[in-house]
Amino acid sequence: MKIVVGSDHGGFDLKEELRRRLTEEGHEVTDVGCHGERVDYPDIARDLCAVVNGGGVDFGILCCGTGIGIGIAANKIHGIRAALCTDCYSARMAKEHNNANVITFGGRTAGVEHVWEMVKAYMAAEHLGGTHAVRVEKIHALER
C-alpha cells in the first residue's frame, strides 16, 4: 500500500516506529514530518491531508500526543475523514463503516504494539459501501 505518515513532537516516536514497520513490510511510505522538532500539529495535518487529497496514497496516519488535536485539524479539511482509533474494533469500523482516509493515534496514550495491531486491523478491512457509503456522502454534504 501507499501510506503517508505525519506527527508533531508528541507523536514523533510512534510515527517513526510505524514508518519503520510499514516500510519493513514493503509498503511505500511518505513522511511529511516532523523530524523530532517541536511543531504545531495543525501544520502537519494540513501537509498530510494535502497528500491524501492529492490521491497518490491509500491512506494517512497522523500521530500527536493524544491523536485528538491532529485529528480535529485534519477533519477541518474538505475530503478528509480522520478517525481517532483507540481499539482494534474501532480501527476496523473506521474503514468498514466510515471509510476513513486518515487514522490518528496518540503517542502519549497508546503503546506501540497496540497501535500496530490497530493499524493492521484498519488495513485488513474493506469499506462495506451500501448504506455506509450513503452516510459517508452525507458527511461530505455537510461541508457544502
Q: In the complex, which residues of this chain contact ligand RB5 (CB under 6 A)?
A: 8, 10, 41, 64-66, 68-69
Nearest CA-CA partner of 6 in 40, 27, 23, 30? 30
Coarse DSSP helix, strand, coil percentages of the chain, rounded to the nearest 5 percent: 50, 15, 35
Toward ligand RB5, which CB reaches closer, 8 or 16? 8
Catalytic status, residue 64: yes
Toward ligand RB5, which CB reaches closer, 60 or 97? 60
| Residue 59 CB, nearest approach to ligand RB5 (Å) | 20
CA distance 49 to 8: 14
How many CB atoms are located within 10 Å of the residue 36 CB? 11
| Residue 110 CB, nearest approach to ligand RB5 (Å) | 12
| Residue 86 CB, nearest approach to ligand RB5 (Å) | 14
Residue of 34, 49, 63, 64 marked active site: 64
Residue whose CB is nearest to ligand RB5 in the complex, by number: 69
Catalytic status, residue 85: no
What strands, in cross-sheet order, belong to the sheet with 2-7?
A: 28-31, 2-7, 59-64, 102-106, 82-84
